[in-house]
Structure 1
């Protein structure tokens, strides 16, 4: 009996260590960062398709810039682990740099002069995207790692990251809502004008944590030499990091609906404003879920919730493909239903890296959080390959090249698509994402970490309990 009491006391989580203002400033950064991400990954393909560039050339250029992803995330992960600032802060100096460069590079991409020929426009896009991509990497690793510097309480971290995902969704929602409304044929803003408004909000929301953020948990500085060989060894030893992001990348790369959403609304449902309506209707269930996410996570293991949300998304997504095109009311109803598991997935999908960091340190003794978060950043950005994948698939159906600065001009020019192209538009928007999520369940099925065991590993990594106490308290052998 005494041993049981001692065991229970050992694994008790520490109290909350952050203030509400700290957490709110932290969450706001995700709001602005997501707005920049959405401006690039939600509208960029549409923008390029509207300025007279062939689909296959856009897709090829997008694949090319992703090659930079495989280099800069890895390099910055090494730099992040090795660079030590005089202030002793690990994350804030990087966040202050990105406060400036992310808005600037986001705006630059949408300033392509109309007088350039298609080849020159592609060169402008490639150069701008490479700069933005590097800037985003500079922000992504530190902001996610920031939770480990703000608190050692894994329950608190989970809550912070879950709410951060809500703020990220809200930022993406505002950008989508505002963007689809302003560039629609009823309003007539250009993409450049719309993005100028977005980048101003990006700067203002990323500012608070960059100025007022606090790092109270100082990571012990080491002189570890993180070579590419050691990084590969770390990824091999941290199987759960690899498994989770394998599934994440598979489903993300085949989530081809976002790149063509405005064209689905315009050509299949009569107006680009239909996308605005759907954004509002599908956001309501997600907003409601966000209020209850922390109480839910206190009672349900977050990976189980994540896994079965993917299963539910597949079922409803298949129904959208089979029945949604035949009836607008049915389509709206199914999309609202699909947004419920989608909300859980979005809130949870990038909260597993800190867990994998704790597991990796527990397993290997190496605190390689920079590598882990670099891998997360790489995976998140790699999923933007969904844009060229979607465009490649759509090009197979004979899509007609468009040259218009806005949907108002597109409507005025009466540019139409063939029935074959419209069928390809529907398949790319609905069926391909379902196939991707089904495939993602394969690696997800082998992920075995749970919240309680991660908390025990975190306490051992922090030196609060011994290896023997940790091993005895874990639910299974890792």
Structure 2
């Protein structure tokens, strides 16, 4: 079986999609809490609204997983959905950030909740098919790993560009509104997400595409796929406790004097990631993916605690500690969503059910569930008497000269640094039971594709 089944234009368009999608997600996760806090809404009210929105996620992601497995459009399994998503995601990003300021706080919360529910639904439609698409592009696990590793890097490029650009535009030096910034970025998102729908080919036949299975069988699939459970338990714990993204701009503004300091933090984080990510494909040919991921996650938890303990003494020390933390963090972020195709192969090999839509829907759900980090951060911040603010940019906030108490600033630092460090440590526990390694996945993929018999694969598998 050849290691290269895709063309470079296909891969480039796949990576471009991730860049645009990464822009959308990073703008929502990085800017939404700040935007709402500057809209005159109390932190606890925002937190309750965000939790309510996630109740919809518990239904919509599972529903779409079922739909994705059972509804098959002409033109492919993933591509028709992506053509719909490439329009909806940028459009609804604009809608979320155009809350009419004439509304009272209750009206603003309603606008936010409804528009965010629609955005979440559109993002699910964009997320499940794009990760499934790589399994339809190639059967070679080494090629999949390489494509997905670069895709994660492309998403981080989108995150970097968005965080830098959006922070600059809404900072006190420029003063663009969040709505204007969202509109400009949405145009770029659309252009980046467009090519994959017309360039990529679904060349791997989905042998079980017409299989019908009951809800009971779906539940049995999830129950039987122990690695699906263990990996995404780790992912959810680590993600929900990553409360720093909700308050990074305020950390920069109140601790270091300017919202633009967050761009320096982003640079300190991104440089190690930019160095490591292009090498990941070569590294993974020599090192087992999960072992590299696990020990990087351990190192990240340890270095995150160091940032909390020593980061406030000076800006240079803070940036240095952030850069050290970024080395293991970069490996974790590059690899964290490359495990679902492995888990899909394991699920199909052990259960005989190709419920990839369910597996990728759980990935999408987990990816959006971790946005509960925002309300969690706000809940904790609310315990420290955070003063509500009303301004459409940091330029307006600087003009108002609103100060926060020492208690509130202490809570801000805890939310930004200590909570993520503790969460990263706790999240390691379920990974101790994860034993799905590259060699085993390749054997199962070949058996699932009919290249070798199941018995042949079973004899060569490690103890799982």
TM-score, with structure 2 as normaliser: 0.99
CA deviation profile, 1:176-231 (whole Å, cap 9, x unmatched): 00111111111111111111111011000000001222111121255444443322
1:98-137 matches, within 5 Å, as 98-137=85-124
Note the C-alpha offset of 1:277.
1.5
Question: Number of matched residues?
Answer: 464
Q: Does 1:147 align with 2:119?
A: no
Please, what is the CA RMSD of the aligned residues? 1.0
1:176-187 matches, within 5 Å, as 176-187=163-174
* 2:285 alignment partner, SS class: helix
Q: Does 1:14 align with 2:14?
A: no
Q: Does 1:240 align with 2:234?
A: no
* 1:391 alignment partner, SS class: helix
CA deviation profile, 1:335-391 (whole Å, cap 9, x unmatched): 001111111011000000000000001101111101100010000110000000000
2 CA distance for matches of 1:283 and 1:174?
A: 10
Name 2:28's counterpart in structure 1: 40
CA deviation profile, 1:96-145 (whole Å, cap 9, x unmatched): 00111111111000110110000000000001001000000001110000
Q: Does 1:358 align with 2:345?
A: yes
> Is the contact between residue 27 and residue 163 of structure 1 (CA under 8 Å) also seen in structure 2?
yes
> Is the contact between residue 268 and residue 320 of structure 2 (CA under 8 Å) also seen in structure 1?
no
> Is the contact between residue 6 and residue 137 of structure 2 (CA under 8 Å) also seen in structure 1?
yes
Which has the higher mean CA deviation after the structures are superposed, 328-337 or 164-173? Answer: 328-337
* 1:98 alignment partner, SS class: helix
1:367-378 matches, within 5 Å, as 367-378=354-365
2 CA distance for matches of 1:222 and 1:380?
A: 25
Name 2:310's counterpart in structure 1: 323
> Is the contact between residue 150 and residue 217 of structure 1 (CA under 8 Å) also seen in structure 2?
yes
CA deviation profile, 1:285-326 (whole Å, cap 9, x unmatched): 110111211111111111111111111111111111111111
Note the C-alpha offset of 1:278.
1.4
* 2:194 alignment partner, SS class: helix
2 CA distance for matches of 1:198 and 1:140?
A: 19
Q: Does 1:459 align with 2:446?
A: yes
Name 1:31's counterpart in structure 2: 19
Q: 1:209 aligns with which of 193, 196, 204?
A: 196
Name 1:78's counterpart in structure 2: 66
Structure 2 residue ranges without an equivalent (≥5):
none
Q: Does 1:172 align with 2:159?
A: yes
Q: Does 1:304 align with 2:291?
A: yes
Note the C-alpha offset of 1:84.
1.5
Name 1:389's counterpart in structure 2: 376
Structure 1 residues 445 and 55: CA distance shift in structure 2, 3 A: same
> Is the contact between residue 307 and residue 322 of structure 2 (CA under 8 Å) also seen in structure 1?
yes
> Is the contact between residue 78 and residue 226 of structure 1 (CA under 8 Å) also seen in structure 2?
no
2 CA distance for matches of 1:180 and 1:85?
A: 40
Structure 1 residues 358 and 68: CA distance shift in structure 2, 3 A: same
Structure 1 residue ranges without an equivalent (≥5):
1-12
